[in-house]
Structure 1
């Protein structure tokens, strides 16, 4: 199986890239967000690869960091979600945004993604709610011409999760606690300060 590729960008589009690796051109399917991070044509690029083998084709999917690849692998385990829809979901939301939306059961945010209806959004939250909470952000370091994104914007909920993790709580339990706070307080939770979110989450964890 091909796990990664490091080569020269020969062509690229919002859905795919051709990498020249020592004279062999590999077509790799990517999300539009990964496309936005690609270097220019003729430059060197490194991508993590997931190889999908079928009777009639071998398809390569590329990712700029391990966290995105792990999310892709989780998405395709959900009933009704194939590789193409998984890439569309990753195009619609960044890794941290998607993890937050699934963990917090934000159906409105999920159904705003092209191809994701209410039932698919519900399956995502039910089947992946706890699993995505265990994902730790991780970049790909030490590789030539690594594709890298800009840091995601933080918010009070994510800051509260980080604080709970620093207190020793597992990430998936921290997300569950914050999800309960949002359910209990509705839109009011969006206006809460980090300290208040932490206090309420700790009450639920006690």
Structure 2
């Protein structure tokens, strides 16, 4: 229905913004990742949108990137996850972090998001598996099983997500798990 809004940012009141499009102010709910990257009031802004029509309301959700909108659409397809919960997930973690958590089946990372309990986190991991691929924010280097195993090993050894991801980028794409771990540890030791 409404796929994109371009207009002047009229008001910001988290998680809602008002975008003035030629005299018509659209109320748009945005995740905090989008909210923090918005310009100041009175500046032109473009948001990709998802329009939800319910019995009692018509609500517009806005996103800075197509990856955020695609992840939102995958989230709301899951039984028991509505637009508000999906917005909360995207406010609590980036699309890349969500993709990584699903790939590595890390429910604990999802449970850090307010409103996501153990059962919901498990359902998200199950339902999203294989749906948040390279086109939705997962780096292509993470697509192989060996790369995922290497990353999981580095995280288990206490390295941060950023350190482990940086070490993975330096590795050849077709490297085995044990050789990859050895090379990654050498790179991280420098």
- Tell me which interval the TM-score lies in, with the shorter structure as reference length: 0.7 to 0.9
Contact 1:48 1:69 in 2 (8 A): yes
Q: Does 1:39 align with 2:39?
A: yes
Q: In the TM superposition, what is the alpha-carbon distance from 1:95 to its structure 2 partner?
A: 1.3
**1:85-143 alpha-carbon deviations (Å, 9 max, x no partner):** 10000000011111111111112211111111111111111111111124244xxxxxx
What's 2:17 paired with?
17
**SS of the residue aligned with 1:132?**
coil
Contact 1:177 1:201 in 2 (8 A): yes
Return 5+ residue gaps in structure 1 as ranges: 138-156, 165-170
What's 2:100 paired with?
100
Q: In the TM superposition, what is the alpha-carbon distance from 1:16 to its structure 2 partner?
A: 0.7
What's 1:7 paired with?
7
Using the alignment, how far apart are the partners of 2:95 and 2:152 within structure 1? 23
**SS of the residue aligned with 2:110?**
helix
Matches within 5 A, 1:37-186: 37-137=37-137, 161-162=140-141, 171=143, 174=144, 176-180=145-149
Q: Does 1:187 align with 2:163?
A: no
Contact 2:101 2:109 in 1 (8 A): yes
TM-score by length of 1: 0.73
Between 1 and 2, higher relative CO (CA 8 Å, sep ≥ 6) is seen in 1
**SS of the residue aligned with 1:110?**
helix
Return 5+ residue gaps in structure 2 as ranges: 180-190
Using the alignment, how far apart are the partners of 1:87 and 1:10 within structure 2? 21
182-191 or 84-93, which deviates more: 182-191
**1:29-88 alpha-carbon deviations (Å, 9 max, x no partner):** 011111101111111100000011122221100000100000000011112110001000
**SS of the residue aligned with 1:39?**
coil
**SS of the residue aligned with 1:115?**
coil
Using the alignment, how far apart are the partners of 2:178 and 2:134 within structure 1? 19
Using the alignment, how far apart are the partners of 1:48 and 1:200 within structure 2? 40
Contact 2:31 2:91 in 1 (8 A): yes
What's 2:176 paired with?
200
Contact 1:13 1:35 in 2 (8 A): no
Gap change, CA 1:21 and 1:41, over 3 Å in 2: same
